[in-house]
Amino acid sequence: MNKKNIRIIANSFIICLIFIFSFSVISMQDDEILPTSSTGVVSDKKIEWGIKRGNNHEQPDLGSENRRIIDQYEGISIGNSEKPYVYLTFDCGYEAGYTEKILEVLKQNDVKATFFITGHYLNSQPDLVKRMIDEGHIIGNHTPKCLMSGNDIETKC
């Protein structure tokens, strides 16, 4: 085979690849309209979470940016300073065998709590998380990014 024939075969091969690629891209396009957020573009700005401790038993300062985000998404961060409520929270990163007993005690005393769980906890203990939800407790995200999944459990990030 001479160089001219090799060049013709190579060019034909490249044209076929371009055609196959183009056809694949065109066939992958779908006219379905995907739902989007009404808030526009979601920011990927990293936001540090922390509080400035208050003096004389005053509530801590969340900072204006954290307060804005909490208010925007109707979050809960600090209770009413005028009412004497105690907010019971648990951090759950792994299950050491205590959560079922904690849930039993909470149920016996008609107490609701907030469980801050990690993605690992959700994926490894979906039945306990479902029980928390079914018994009226609040589930909070204790994972830096929204990496949560699970059967019949809706997460919002």
pTM comes to: 0.52
Give all domains of the chain, ordered by start, each with its CATH number. Answer: 80-157 (3.20.20.370)
- 16 — phi, psi (to 5°)? -65, -40
User: What average pLDDT does this structure show over 43-48?
Assistant: 70
Q: Of residues 62 and 143, which shows the higher confidence score?
A: 62
Q: Of residues 44 and 156, which shows the higher confidence score?
A: 44
Looking at residue 148, its pLDDT comes to 44
Rounded distance, CA 125 to CA 137, Å?
16
- The two beta strands, 89-92 and 138-141, are unpaired
User: Where do the H-state alpha helices sit in the chain?
Assistant: 3-28, 64-72, 99-108, 119-124, 126-134
Looking at residue 150, its pLDDT comes to 45
pLDDT digits (tens, 9 = 90+) for 72-120: 888 777 777 787 778 889 988 888 889 999 999 999 999 999 999 988 8
Mean pLDDT, the chain, integer: 76
Looking at residue 42, its pLDDT comes to 61
* Contact residues for 36 (Cβ-Cβ < 8 A; gap 6+): none
